[in-house]
Amino acid sequence: MRRLLAIFACLIFVTACSPDAERAAPVPAAGPKVEVVTGLMAAFNAHDADKMREYWHSDVTWIEITGQQSSVVTSTAAQLHTELIAYFEAYPSVSSKLDNISVNGNFVTAIERPVWEVAGERKSQASVVVYEIIDGKVKRFWYFPPQ
């Protein structure tokens, strides 16, 4: 019986390690809605709040989700622009990337991973972000708690 279990365990191990058992990497999402959020991220990484504004509706809304609560952080492009200028001044080393981008209708979802330095120490976090794209621009976006 032990021998049979050992053979079975080896068979499972060999099968799991075989190239046929490997899953193909997910195909990155593409299309005009993804181009909006990747363009927005490129402008963010360039610390170009003016360029970022080209990707938002004039009444863009930034919403933060915390537990069972949601709160509006900004509700106009002008307000968001002002917030970002202050943010880039406070965090001059910040950059970010989007992972696991997916599209569902007007919504683009990703994991955003910003990195920055504080007093010479590198910091990082990850948050789920959902962008609603209407007429080729970000209408609303939701940030979930950072991990």
Beta bridge partners of residue 71, listed in sequence order: 64
**Is there a contact between 126 and 112 (Cβ–Cβ < 8 Å)?**
yes
Residue 124: the pLDDT is 95
Query: Which architecture does CATH list for 28-143?
Result: Roll (3.10)
Region at 80 (left for phi over 0; alpha for psi -120 to 50; beta for the rest): alpha
Q: Would you say residue 19 has pLDDT above 90?
A: no
Q: Would you say residue 83 has pLDDT above 60?
A: yes
To the nearest whole percent, how much of the chain has pLDDT over 70?
81
Task: Map tokens 């970000």 to a residue.
Answer: 138
Q: Would you say residue 50 has pLDDT above 90?
A: yes
The residues spanned by each domain of the chain are 28-143
Exposure b/e, 120-131, CB count within 10 A at least 16 = b: eeeeeeebbbbb
Residue 64: the pLDDT is 97
Q: What's the whole-number average pLDDT of the chain?
A: 86
Residue 27: the pLDDT is 52
pLDDT digit string, tens, across residues 107-121: 999 999 999 998 889
Q: Give this prediction's pTM.
A: 0.78
